[in-house]
Chain A
Amino acid sequence: MKRNTLVLGVVLVILAVFGWAGWANWKYRQQAAERRMADAAKGELVAATGGDPQQALTPLVGKPAPEFSLEDLSGKKVSLSSYKGKAVLINFWATWCGPCKLETPWLVDLRNQYASQGFEILGVSTDDIDRDDSKAFDKEKKEIAGFVQQMHMPYPVLIEGDKLSKPYGGLDAMPTSFYVDRSGTIVAAQMGISSKDEMEGNIRKALKSGS
């Protein structure tokens, strides 16, 4: 009798623990599914490009922004060093990039809001440019200019941003933004569209830092 009770007790304990294990396993899977959905919302290009593109930007934060000199749409050379003393948002974009188009009105608003405090945006187009074919070159520049005009971008727009892919972490996907403080140090970097609030927070950080 005693032995039967003991066996019954052990069986009940085992069943209870199995029940708990099943529940724990279900819960784990549910959480994993939620994580996957959250990751998907953040951007599947992380998987598509191999590695985490955002991580490629991280080592640049806290370091001096790599110097560059690119042409604007009028052919004038514009260098980053000429903006020293100002907070600068280097925004890499392209005409074919939907999220870039969505964030551009935010950029325009923020630029107009903070320009008086010493803030500027350098919009760097990564659209293909073919300098060997003058007709194609004119057409490509015209397309970029059309976008700039349509979006009423009041800040300098530079071309051939692809030339900066190596020093700026690969520029694997657009939009990609670097927030540079008044001393020329990158204080934040963002790949992909975030939110206007987040952009504003980074602009304020760049304005406060390095002065």
Chain B
Amino acid sequence: MLVTGALALISLAATGQVPASDKPARTGSRVDAVQYLYPEQVTVPSGKASPVALHFRVKEGLHINSNKPKDEFLIPTVFSIPEASGVRLERADYPAGKEFELPVEPGTKLIVYTGDFAIEARLVAQPGDHMVEAKLRYQACDANVCLPPKTITVPIDVVGK
């Protein structure tokens, strides 16, 4: 009895402790390679350019081109705000990015964003509450393949005071 119970425990220990995270991730079709994290709402002095750090996350295993990719044909990551939003993008400061080498051609270095990154946007807001649907255009790849360029909406509630 004692031995049977122990063996049952051992069997569980040996085979049953595979955490869910060990399974390959399978997500829904056409998942965005980049996710906007925060802030959802910012309050800035109206009429004055104010820096706002916008945080994004690139899906694990993927990279997107930086704002200044080395190759002329690569599509840079660009943040924009549509006109007539009540908020103007005076300037966007992008992170420098990290060097990335494709395994098939180690000598070729790309400048990319991976994991979490932040863009500092200098916003000029008119007085009032503005639901801004900003945009982030990017193009994602992994080590072997690339996804088509994509533009995602970055929703930010900007309050100009």
Contact = CB atoms under 8 A, between A and B. Distances in A.
**Is the A/B pair a real complex?**
yes
Interface of A: 10, 13-14, 17-18, 20-22, 24-25, 28-29, 32, 36, 39-51, 53, 94-102, 126, 128, 143, 147, 172-175, 191-193, 195
B142 A45 contact: yes
Interface in B130-154: 139-149
A97 B147 CA distance: 8
A50 B28 contact: yes
Nearest to B74: A96
A193 B145 contact: yes
Interface residues of B, number: 46
A114 B103 CA distance: 27
Interface of B: 2-3, 6-7, 10-11, 13-15, 17-18, 22, 24-31, 33, 59-62, 71, 73-75, 102-105, 108, 110, 139-149
Contacts of B139: 96
* Prevailing SS type, chain A contact patch: helix
A47 B27 contact: yes
B26 A51 contact: yes
A97 B2 contact: no
A32 B18 contact: yes
B29 A51 contact: yes
Given A48-B59, A48-B62, 15 more contacts: A10-B2, A18-B10, A44-B59, A48-B33, A48-B61, A50-B26, A98-B102, A98-B146, A99-B104, A102-B108, A173-B147, A174-B146, A193-B102, A193-B144, A193-B145
B10 A17 contact: yes
Contacts of A96: 73-75, 139, 146, 149
A101 B73 CA distance: 9
B66 to A, nearest CB: 13
A47 B104 contact: no
B74 A98 contact: yes
